[in-house]
């Protein structure tokens, strides 16, 4: 008794390969984009701090990260808010300062209090830094949010200088 192995032919092999390729394409269409498009939760960590140091960052994405973060956190008082307090009359301001000094004398600052105070100072600086970055980059933002590189900016400046020199 001999077992006969049938040859399925080249057509069958082609159909198997085609079916495997179709399955792989469908898999990549359905699952890979979902894995790639995982959105970052901007509400938990201040990722906008790192974003402004990235030359390839999308301007609009950085603004979104900044505004989303501050929806769920208390923004530290900037100089504007502190200066607005200075509009109070001098006697009222002196009374407030004396009250604060008395409170501070009674209060014993713990290591945790100092740490929070330091974090507040650092965050104040980062907010100021981000807002300055946003103002400075705005003229160089393209429609898609891409920011012109230093080289591109320099090329534009050089072209403008050539035009000015031609007009003279």
Distance, in Å, from the CA atom of 71 to the CA atom of 52, rounded to the nearest integer, reads: 19
Asked if residue 17 belongs to a domain, the reply is no
Asked if residue 28 belongs to a domain, the reply is no
CB-based contact 86:135 (threshold 8 Å)? no
Asked if residue 26 belongs to a domain, the reply is no
pLDDT digits (tens, 9 = 90+) for 58-100: 999 999 999 999 999 988 877 565 545 555 566 776 777 677 7
Asked if residue 124 belongs to a domain, the reply is yes
pTM check: above 0.75: no
User: At a CB cut-off of 8 Å and minimum separation 6, what does 55 contact?
Assistant: 147, 149
Distance, in Å, from the CA atom of 129 to the CA atom of 78, rounded to the nearest integer, reads: 12
4 or 94, which is more confident: 94
| Residue given tokens 């100089």 in the structure block | 79
Output the pLDDT for position 103: 67
Asked if residue 9 belongs to a domain, the reply is no
**Phi (first) and psi of residue 93, to 5 degrees:** -65, -40
Output the pLDDT for position 13: 74
The domain of 119 spans 37-76+90-167
pLDDT digits (tens, 9 = 90+) for 9-32: 566 677 888 888 888 887 677 666
Q: For the chain, what is the domain count?
A: 1
């Amino acid at each position: 008794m001999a077992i006969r192995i049938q040859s399925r032919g080249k057509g069958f092999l082609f159909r198997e390969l085609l079916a495997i390729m179709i399955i792989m394409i469908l898999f990549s269409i359905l699952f890979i984009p979902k894995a790639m498009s995982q959105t970052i939760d901007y509400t938990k960590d201040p990722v906008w701090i790192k974003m402004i140091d990235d030359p390839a960052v999308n301007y609009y994405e950085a603004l979104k990260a900044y505004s989303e973060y501050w929806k769920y956190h208390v923004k530290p008082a900037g100089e504007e808010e502190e200066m607005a307090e200075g509009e109070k009359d001098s006697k009222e301001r002196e009374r407030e300062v004396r009250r604060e000094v008395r409170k501070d004398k009674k209060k014993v600052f713990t290591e945790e209090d100092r740490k929070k105070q330091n974090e507040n100072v650092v965050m104040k600086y980062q907010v100021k830094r981000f807002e300055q970055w946003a103002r400075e980059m705005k003229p160089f933002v393209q429609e898609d949010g891409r920011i012109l590189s230093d080289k591109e900016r320099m090329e534009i400046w050089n072209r403008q200088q050539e035009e000015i020199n031609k007009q003279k």
